[in-house]
Amino acid sequence: MKVWLVRGLVLAVVHAAVQTAQAWVRAGDPTAVGWLRPTALSVLVAVAVVWGGIDGWRGLEGRGLAWFKASLVAGPVGGVLGVIGQGVFVDDTGAEALPVAITGGAAFIALLVLVPAAVGLLFGKMARPAAPTNA
């Protein structure tokens, strides 16, 4: 399986799980919105930064393009899985939520994957040991 597909699908599942958990907590405690949203977003951002950092440190071939493609997969797939998760586990969210999830929601998710992964790639590349030179 392609590296970008694995990254995109894993981050789509992470986002869907976080979105569903966030909706579940909000349904039980509507006052939790103040701390819940930043915490939920930081989970997805942390996964992307760490995984991007590992790719940068390892020197993965084509890592920038792989993360770009992963973000394009994670966006719409994460949006659809999030709607399904909310509909099954939390409330009566239905097909009417899909257009928003696969347009604006998908773009937001893609940025939540791409930007932190790029930061992780940068820091991982900086942390990589220098290659020995044969002079």
pLDDT in tens, 21-75: 988 888 888 887 788 888 888 999 999 999 999 999 998 889 999 999 999 999 9
Report yes or no on 133 lying in a domain.
no
Assess if residue 135 is contained within a domain.
Answer: no
Number of domains in the chain: 1
- What's the average model confidence in pLDDT over 12-17? 94
Residue 132 domain flag: no
**72 dihedral zone (left: phi>0; alpha: psi -120 to 50; beta):** alpha
Please report the pLDDT score of residue 53 as a whole number. Answer: 95
What is the model's pLDDT at position 76? Answer: 94
Q: Write out the residue range of the structural domain in which residue 83 sits.
A: 3-127
50 or 134: which leads in pLDDT: 50
